[in-house]
Amino acid sequence: MRILVVEDDAELARRVAEALRAEQFVVETCPDGRDADFLGGTESYDAAVLDLGLPGLDGVSVLRNWRAAGATFPVLVLTARERWHDKLAAFNAGADDYLVKPFSMPELVVRVKALIRRARGHAETVLGCGPLQYDINAGRFLLNGDALALTPQEQRILAYLMHNRGRVVSRSELIEHVYERDLDHDSNVIDVLIGRIRRKLGVDLVHTRRGQGFVLSEQP
């Protein structure tokens, strides 16, 4: 899952990115409102963490522009402001959740996970597909009740497929959402990792749709 963190406090941005990366998120950081405006309006993200007090362009304006450009990813707003009218302005601009500074990193991570889960239409915190289960909050996969050993790369791919189970996900979409920007879209790394995941699952859950991509489903 690909997260955009927009925060001009370099140390806080580093800590937020570190906490999210520890949960196998792919994270991009941006310290400026105008750059964030461009990124959110043109790139594909699964969620964003957005500070309101930004140089260049304030966070509420950034968020309003994202929504006007058609960006639908969930946004968690960060701010030191506790006044109700500031919160109302953020929600009216399209915010999905609100966190007042100072906050705990575990709470931020849980909120981001919840936003992504709800945006994908999942009410439950444990997703299932046949004998495979994915505990979103714990970041753990179970196969027939036993822990499934996955590398971080395999975990990111399988988590994305789980969130989109039943839908064909293209190779380029997987690359965009589970890898940093510099991965070659023509690379066969995705195919190699999908093969490893299939062998570890030992059951036919990840299917290839020739010319389209991959789908996680109990049906062939």
Q: Where are the domains of the chain?
A: 2-119, 126-216
Measuring CA to CA, how many Å separate 200 from each of 6, 46, 145, 156, 215? Answer: 37, 26, 14, 15, 17
Which regions of 130-194 does DSSP assign to beta strands (E)?
A: 132-135, 140-143, 146-147
pLDDT of residue 187: 65
- Residue found by looking up tokens 């930004």 in the block: 54
Cα–Cα dist 32/40, whole Å? 12
Which fold does the domain 2-119 belong to in CATH? Rossmann fold (3.40.50)
What's 97's DSSP letter? E
- Cα–Cα distance for residue pair 159/162, rounded to 1 Å: 5
Question: Across residues 145-168, what is the average pLDDT?
Answer: 94
pLDDT attached to residue 182: 59
Percent of the chain with pLDDT over 70: 97
Q: Side by side, which strands form the sheet with 75-79? A: 26-30, 2-6, 47-51, 75-79, 97-100
Predicted local distance difference test score (pLDDT) of residue 185: 54
Tokens representing residue 96 in the block: 């999905």
User: Does 181 score more than 60 pLDDT?
Assistant: yes
Q: List the one residue out of 216, 218, 220, 219 whose CA is nearest residue 161.
A: 216
* Residue 27 clears pLDDT 90, i.e. is over it: yes
Q: Summarize pLDDT for 189-204 with one digit per residue, the tens.
A: 888 999 999 999 998 9
In this model, does residue 57 exceed pLDDT 70?
A: yes
Average pLDDT over all residues of the chain: 92
**Amino acid (one-letter) located at 33:** G
126-216 under CATH 2.130.10.30, yes or no: no
| Burial degree of 80 (CB within 10 A; 0-12, 13-18, 19+) | exposed
Calpha distance 28→128 (Å, rounded): 29
pLDDT at 116 over 90: yes
Q: Given its phi and psi angles, is residue 217 left (phi above 0), alpha (psi -120 to 50 degrees) or beta? A: beta
Rg (CA), the chain: 18
Q: Which two tokens stand for residue 120?
A: 């994908």
